[in-house]
Amino acid sequence: MSKMNFEGTATWKGGTECALSVKGKNITTVSPPPAFGGKEGYCVPEEIFAAALASCMNTLFLLIAKNSKLELKNLETTALVTMNVESLEKLIFTHIHFAMNVKLENDNERERKKANTVYQMAQKICPLRQSWGEDVPITFELNF
């Protein structure tokens, strides 16, 4: 299998703010949480990280669903990333929780069973789980 690289850029704008860009396109401006001297009202980098993880899980679910012929009306995933702050020098991600909300085109027992199978497969091949193992617990929740 080939190797894939992903790149994003953070450009300091002044104070604690950085402009985030991907492929030369500005995405947003972030600032650390106010507890770390950041400005109120900005997204924090960890929120962008959580949104990217949620998008990754959506993509996995959608690819598996397509191969399984599972028809969806809607799919929304929220990622909750927990970080312990022991000190400014020791910031540790301690847990990631994915809550997936699925609306099926045909909401019946057979399709829900198929959706649960897709959900279990997505959990199994989650790149985070495969990369971090059990060092950072990752939990999943599926809601219809």
For the segment 89-125, what is each residue's pLDDT rounded down to a tens digit?
Answer: 888 889 999 999 999 999 999 999 999 999 999 999 9
Please report, to the nearest 10 degrees, the dihedral formed by the alpha carbons of residues 61, 65, 68, 71 taken in order.
160
> At 22, is the pLDDT very low, low, confident or very high (cuts 50, 70, 90)?
very high
CB atoms closer than 10 angstroms to residue 90: 8
Residue 135 has pLDDT above 80, yes or no: no
User: How confident is the model over 23-33, as a mean pLDDT?
Assistant: 95
Sheet holding 25-30, edge to edge: 9-14, 17-22, 25-30
Question: Which pLDDT score is estimated for 112?
Answer: 97
What 3-state class would DSSP assign to 62? helix
Question: Which pLDDT score is estimated for 87?
Answer: 80
44-143: CATH architecture: 2-Layer Sandwich (3.30)
Q: What are phi and psi for residue 97, nearest 5 degrees?
A: -125, 125
Question: Which pLDDT score is estimated for 89?
Answer: 82
For the segment 31-89, what is each residue's pLDDT rounded down to a tens digit?
Answer: 999 988 999 999 999 999 999 999 999 999 999 999 999 999 999 999 999 999 888 78
Top pLDDT among 3 and 132 is at 3
CA distance from start to end of the chain: 35
